[in-house]
Each structure stands twice: as C-alpha cells, then as structure tokens.
Amino acid sequence: MPYVIAEPCIDVMDKACMDECPVDCIYEGGRKLYINPVECIDCGACEPSCPVEAITQDRGVAEGHEDFVEDNARFFDIVLPGRDDAIGAPGGASGLGRIGADTDLVAHFPRD
C-alpha cells in the first residue's frame, strides 16, 4: 500500500487531500479518511495537502502509527457496521459518498 492516513486525521478530516487525489481513492469513514490501497497510484499528491500531516507512505509512518498501515487496508476488506458487503475497490470514492463507519481501531480510538 503506497500511502496511508494515520491517527492525526481522526476527528479532523480536513478533506483537502480528497480534492488533490487524481484517482478519487480517498474514502470518508465516520471519524477518519482512508486511502484505498488498490486504487492509489502512489503519486503523493495528497500528502502535502494534509494540514495535520496524517498522510505518509506506508513505510514511513510515524512511530506509534504502525497499526494504521494494516488498518487502512482493512477498511476496504471487512464488512463495516451498517454495510452488507466490504467496500473493496469500487473505482472511486465519489460514487459511494460518505461511508460513515470506521474500523474497530478508529471507532474505539479515544476522543479528545
């Protein structure tokens, strides 16, 4: 997975990265955004637009954020609460709109 979104995005979701993504591979959960690892073309356009520096390449996540690499992929592979099927790789976030659910890691992350 080329790029991931880690903990700093939780409860912030600025969404500037979504505007910069040329392939529409950033999806909106309930508390955090997620990059689809199958759809991402590893261009890096999203990274500098994130005001909280939550986006990095998978091999460059900040110490303590390692769990977000696998969790970012899990968002697309599991059946999330309120859904009948896993998201998979539908070919773009705009066609689905806001998902409104998160993985367990994010859903149970302490609130400020």
- Tokens representing 86 are 């896993």
Q: What is the dihedral of CA 28, 7, 39, 89, to 10 degrees?
A: -60
Structural domain boundaries, residue 40: 3-107
Q: pTM (2 decimals)?
A: 0.95
Residue 13 identity: M
Q: And the tokens for 68?
A: 């977000």
Write the pLDDT tens digit of every residue in 17-43.
999 999 999 999 999 999 999 999 999
Task: Judge whether 112 lies within some domain.
Answer: no
Q: Is residue 40 part of a domain?
A: yes
Give the CATH number, domain containing residue 56: 3.30.70.20
Is 59:32 a contact under the CB 8 Å cutoff? no
Q: How far apart are CA 28 and CA 26, in angstroms?
A: 7
In a domain, 70, yes or no: yes
- Residues 6 or more apart from 97 whose CB is under 8 A from it? 28
Give the residue ranges of the chain where pLDDT is below 70.
1
CA distance 3 to 17: 12
Q: Which residue has the tokens 């508390």?
A: 31
Instruction: Assess if residue 27 is contained within a domain.
Output: yes
- Look at the chain and report how many structural domains it folds into: 1
22: in domain? yes
